[in-house]
């Protein structure tokens, strides 16, 4: 399963699919069938669509992506020692 994007909107995780055409969003369909497993209540799909809503799925035309009112989250990542990771990878691959 592959989701294009995950965003936090109003404190909730919201999967976002972006389609070049009106193709089916299979990953979103999978997650929608099991909301208790994934803990997701709302979905957004952008593509060659009109504005619409089908239950928990909001469909929007691609040109409306800029209208999502998202504020950047503060992301804190610990420093990574790339040399240690490369050494570990070499060790694992040499076995």
* DSSP conformation class of 11: T
Q: Give residue 7's pLDDT.
A: 86
**Residue whose pair of structure tokens reads 């990878």 in the numeric block:** 89
Full-prediction pTM beyond 0.85? Answer: no
Q: Give residue 83's pLDDT.
A: 84
> Could you tell me the residue ranges of all domains in the chain?
5-69
Q: pLDDT tens, position by position, for the chain (95 residues)? A: 678 888 888 788 889 888 866 666 677 888 888 888 888 899 999 988 899 999 999 999 988 888 877 766 666 667 777 888 888 888 888 87
Task: Classify residue 45 as exposed, middle or buried by CB count within 10 Å of its CB (0-12, 13-18, 19+).
Answer: buried
Q: Give residue 23's pLDDT.
A: 61
């Amino acid at each position: 399963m592959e989701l294009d994007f995950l965003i936090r909107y109003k404190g909730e995780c919201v999967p976002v699919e972006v389609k070049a055409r009106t193709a089916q969003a299979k990953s979103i369909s999978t997650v929608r069938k099991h909301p208790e497993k994934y803990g997701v209540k709302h979905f957004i799909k952008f593509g060659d669509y009109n504005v619409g809503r089908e239950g928990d799925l909001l469909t929007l035309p691609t040109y409306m992506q800029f209208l999502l009112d998202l504020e950047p989250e503060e992301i804190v990542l610990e420093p990574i020692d790339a040399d240690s990771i490369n050494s570990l990878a070499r060790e694992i691959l040499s076995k």
